[in-house]
Structure 1
Amino acid sequence: MWRQKIGRLYDDAEFAAPASDEVIDQIERLLGQGVPDELRELLRQTNGVRAEYGSGLVWSVQEIIQGNTEFRHSTDFAELYMPFDQLLFMGDNGGGDQFAYVRNPAGRLDEVFVWDHETDERKRVATSLEDYLERRAGADGDDWYK
């Protein structure tokens, strides 16, 4: 389902090989946050998607782990920004802004937020992963969420 939907939305989509549940579970184990069902299903079909000149439409499991770990443990970021512990980053715009789920408090809907790297603003941009992909595909320019 996800590959077909993304393929219809993005002519330049590049898909990776699927990830196993054991690989996806590394996100939960290493970051201490649950993986939203919709993201888990997408990663089962393709372990990340590149589009729009190579930007991380949806990151791979390894990129999710690495990116979130860097954001949470960077002393430079700790001095500049609010904590990132409640966010689960899963994509980027190629210019520094990141897309994430808010994972705390538990039970929050699986809405997608953007983190603006210049202002540290965090705001909701989509109601779901599907909504995020559709809005991003239908917009003009990299800053569709502003």
Structure 2
Amino acid sequence: MRKLARTSLVYMIVGLVFGVYYREFTKFTDFTGETQLSVLHTHTLVLGMVFFLVVLLLEKNFGLSRQKHFNKFYLFFNLGLVVTLGMLLLHGTLTVLGYPDSAAISGIAGIGHILLTIGLGFFFNSLLKSLPQT
């Protein structure tokens, strides 16, 4: 359970740093348009911090980590989230700096979303198997 709490804490810190980065970087460059940086802060806090707090509560009540696919969930979800957040950061930063959109960044972000989806599949498998049969 500590692992889940620490994971949530790390995403909280990173999410707050991303919020400051967005505010200060756009202010420093006098950028007023739309950028992926504007959603980076909330994506990190919700998909990272809040989600893992919910998983922590489910672990406490149902013992999710005893399921064989739980570690796969943890690995795929975190890997997918890190890739997705990294691409939001990169794409947003390049937008602020005036670079054109990149198909490579979109493709890698798509891979991040696929990894997140696989992780969620393993999560729900673990959740459903850990719930009492009725």
- Is TM > 0.5 for Structure 1 vs Structure 2? no
Larger relative helix fraction: 2
What TM-score does the superposition give when structure 2 sets the normalisation length?
A: 0.30
Structure index of larger Rg: 2
Larger relative strand fraction: 1
Higher RCO (CA 8 Å, separation ≥ 6 residues): 2
What TM-score does the superposition give when structure 1 sets the normalisation length?
A: 0.29
